């Protein structure tokens, strides 16, 4: 059913893919911030290594979530007309770019965590709080990806 709500075009068995994927990069990036803080507190190299792996996993899963989100964004003109959709997308692209820089800086050694790494990680967590809020607005206020009628009973 096409319906009057903006539709998700990246689906599997009728379920939008983007919301299935977004928890992964969010958890990886938030965990990287936590391991950065633990590294600053403890200075054990294991925390620095964990942060690098978490950033890499976050970037890989963010690419998948972004592909599904971009498919939805480009698939329905009504979504592109929503200011919340633009803020959600631009904020998430900004977060991913910052984390890519963050990962790159760490190849120089764990000392980057204490200088700029933890700041970037913390900033990304704040951005994710905002973009997560905007994602919620897209679903719960603008009803993006929500069927118009109850299709669960057939």
User: Which pLDDT belongs to residue 66?
Assistant: 96
Interval 87-102: pLDDT, tens: 999 999 999 999 999 9
Residue in the structure block whose two tokens are 């933890």: 118
DSSP 72-114: HHHH-HHHHT-HHHHHHHHHHHHHHHHHHHHHHHHTT-THHII
Distance CA 154, CA 148 (A): 15
Average pLDDT of the segment spanning 105-119: 87
pLDDT band at 65 (very low <50, low <70, confident <90, very high): very high
In terms of Cβ atoms closer than 10 Å to its own Cβ (0-12, 13-18, 19+), residue 132 is middle
Percent share of the chain, pLDDT over 90:
66
């Amino acid at each position: 059913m096409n319906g009057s709500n903006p539709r998700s075009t990246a689906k599997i068995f009728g379920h939008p893919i983007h919301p299935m994927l977004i928890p992964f990069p969010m958890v990886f990036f938030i965990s990287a911030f936590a391991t950065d803080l633990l590294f600053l507190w403890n200075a054990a190299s294991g925390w620095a290594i964990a942060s690098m792996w978490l950033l890499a996993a976050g970037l890989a899963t963010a690419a998948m979530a972004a592909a599904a989100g971009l498919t939805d964004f480009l698939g329905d003109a009504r979504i592109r007309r929503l200011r919340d959709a633009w803020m959600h997308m631009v904020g998430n692209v900004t977060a991913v770019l910052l984390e890519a820089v963050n990962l790159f800086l760490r190849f120089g050694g764990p000392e980057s965590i204490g200088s700029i790494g933890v700041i970037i990680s913390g900033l990304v967590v704040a951005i994710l709080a905002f973009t997560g809020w905007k994602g919620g607005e897209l679903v719960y206020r603008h009803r993006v990806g929500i069927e118009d009628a109850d299709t669960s009973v057939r």
